[in-house]
Structure 1
């Protein structure tokens, strides 16, 4: 696990660099897209590179991490609509190239199984963007989630619904109680995981992720078992890390050619 501590704009640039490097080398790259606040600056940077530098997504595919259950198809906070607004419509993804779990399916169990098959059919995700919740969840894998879980329906914790109420006019009653989410094992199947976190509110979750024991109580800690994880955090999110100085030293000494 590589930990990079830097200002927010630098973190977004580094994540975009990793994605651009993949797309330039392999245009048919499969990306994993996250929602929430953490990846927004990355999407802005990718859209800028598409417009100004000709970075193309035309042959790429993308899969979303999760989706609310039951939100109407035209609801602005339906994650498919959020991803469309934040990145898909701003670059040149082909029609149908961005997929998400179907939170409006009549058979949600089959919808989850179909989503797993769709990811497997394209050979898996090359680079997965991730955020982390204040309680250590990744995607919507709440505390107590199986570390071997696959895409499934989950009940959101009160904490997660309160955290997400800011997207629903600060009214937690409007936040759905259920979602479809990639499981922890599904996420772990991606070849490179890039997690972004900013702000002091994420400091304890980041500390547990990087330096704590692997535990279902902090689901993100399963990432410690992945062979290629990059954790991009600002000073505030890194404020609980006991080895923060070491992470800064190792990144400063890193060969320029190596990348993330």
Structure 2
């Protein structure tokens, strides 16, 4: 069996067959993963909306809401967590339907446990690589603004020098690494604040407002820092 000690992550396991669920949960936890259990489609969707996961393992035949529908709704919400479907349906048309609705991988039952663990590891590693779009150096300049990440300092367009908090620096770096792309609120809270269960907070909004005060010539008509209603935030250059 694969040793994932250095690659552990959080997994949402959505499977209504209790014996199989418990067996999978036990084996995943033995490999170092943190596992959250869900036994029906609606509960799975609620969990995904409230927590960050590195991977979702999804059965198709579920009470309340089937796994394909859950996967489709997750993608509509712009949540890009990888989804590995487990299903007794092995027809090519079923696999194609699952992948078209947003699944990243499809494994038919019965399956080999070691193969499952390998696919889990590969999907989590791939997801983590995709989260960092662009590696940026210690210094970054946009417009007439200049940031020193390691020193947690910035010089603004009007030559004002400011000290940045650690969280401000981390959020700036995350947004700039993903420039011109929307970064979801969930991803920001996980990466910058380390929240696993997200509180109701305007924390990120307040940070974005501060960035506009620092770096925008007209904070009411921002050029760089944008809020995308209901989705997340974007740095545009």
| TM over 0.5, shorter chain | no
TM-score (norm 2): 0.32
* Higher Rg: 2
TM-score (norm 1): 0.30
Higher strand share: 2
